[in-house]
Structure 1
Amino acid sequence: MNLKRELNIWHVIALILGSVIGSGVFINLPIVAREAGSPLLAVAAWFIGGLIWLPQLFILAEMATAYPDEGFGYLYLKKAGSPALGFLYVWTVFWTSDTPSITIIALSAVSALSIFWGPLEGTLYTKLFAMLLIMILTYIHYRSVRKGGGFQIILTVAKLSPLILLCILG
């Protein structure tokens, strides 16, 4: 099976920025700021966290350069000689990382929206709206990789805008 490459450079940049920045920065920012006690210590905590992740990012970049095919972790483990371990890795990531992360991000996004619509705060509506959000995003990506990439550009701009404003305005 040969996959069509439908993403352009802007889609890919948006995907990378969206992955690197992540949504955790918005969820964890108030927690880190509160626990650090000062803005300088909070910035230092984020900086140190980035330094801790840097070796893993370099390793993943090296692996992606060495094996540019589709498959990420499965491909790397298969190339290392263990398709069974690759299979186990994919399902472990699906159940322990991807699914919970998507759920937490959707619930956090809906909780943030509760500022604009009160009934979403801490109710069954929060969970239902988060499920609807996940289904809509899944549908967009199912229908078209290119449309999913376009939507990722919108999300990345929405994610970068407050961070840029924070840097400019302090």
Structure 2
Amino acid sequence: MKPFADSIPPIDTENKLIRGLGLLDSTMLVAGSMIGSGIFIVSSIIARQVGAPGWLLVVWIVTGLLTLVAALSYGELAAMMPKAGGQYVYLREAFSPLWGFLYGWTLFLVIQTGTIAAVAVGFSRYMGVLIPWVSESNYLVVPIRLGGYALSLSTAQLVGLLLIALLTFTNTLGLKLGKIVQNVFTTAKTGA
């Protein structure tokens, strides 16, 4: 006899798309993802490489057109397969569950972790301009040499770690707060 069997709700194994983002939220999410934070870090490097403001503008126009093609492609895929999971779902349906699985774990272990770390480093560097105490040379834990590597903790690294922890915690609280934070950051990014 199972006394609690009737009170336990069945497990829903179907991935359902929760439509918790409005038009503005979705636009801000896509714009924030497409523009990326690299725009603040890479622009000066590109300007040095192309050598003239006109060519820099051409580079931005070409990359903008390429980004538009990618965005339209993802829009089509999302309309064809309105399921939660994004690229994982598209790869799973187009090729096989193995490719979706491999992409999902690669995204989790390599792609997103590297991107998150790079954005945190960039944020810390720019914060160091406003607050000189935040610096890669201001060590809280002096470098410990291990072979060809050095383990240390600088104030810039600490700020980056705290930023990652704060944003991770924010996203665990749900979509409502997460979309507000995304909208604020995208507004700041596009307004800069």
Q: TM-score range by the shorter chain?
A: 0.7 to 0.9
Aligned counterpart in structure 1 of residue 75 of structure 2, from 36, 61, 64 = 61
Quote how far apart the aligned CAs of 1:3 are.
5.5
1:118 aligned counterpart, secondary structure: coil
Correspondences of 1:9-158 after superposition (within 5 Å): 9-123=23-137, 124-158=154-188
**CA contact under 8 A between 2:29 and 2:182: conserved in structure 1?**
yes
Q: Distance in 2 between matches of 1:5 and 1:49?
A: 30
Q: Distance in 2 between matches of 1:13 and 1:74?
A: 21
* CA deviation map 1:99-131 (0-9, x unaligned): 101110111011001011112122311111101
Quote how far apart the aligned CAs of 1:12 are.
1.4
Which structure has more relative contact order (CA 8 Å, sep 6+)? It is 1
Larger strand share, 1 or 2 = 2
2:21 aligned counterpart, secondary structure: coil
> What's the % identity of the aligned pairs?
32
Quote how far apart the aligned CAs of 1:87 are.
0.4
Q: Distance in 2 between matches of 1:81 and 1:134?
A: 33
Farther-moved stretch of structure 1 (18-27 vs 42-51):
42-51
- Runs of 5+ in structure 2 lacking a partner? 1-11, 138-153
Cα distance, 1:79–1:3 mapped onto 2, change above 3 Å: closer
Q: Distance in 2 between matches of 1:59 and 1:3?
A: 19
Cα distance, 1:140–1:31 mapped onto 2, change above 3 Å: same
Q: Distance in 1 between matches of 2:166 and 2:177?
A: 12
Quote how far apart the aligned CAs of 1:55 are.
3.6
Task: Give the TM-score, by structure 1 length.
Answer: 0.87
Cα distance, 1:37–1:52 mapped onto 2, change above 3 Å: same
Cα distance, 1:98–1:82 mapped onto 2, change above 3 Å: same
Q: Distance in 1 between matches of 2:158 and 2:56?
A: 34
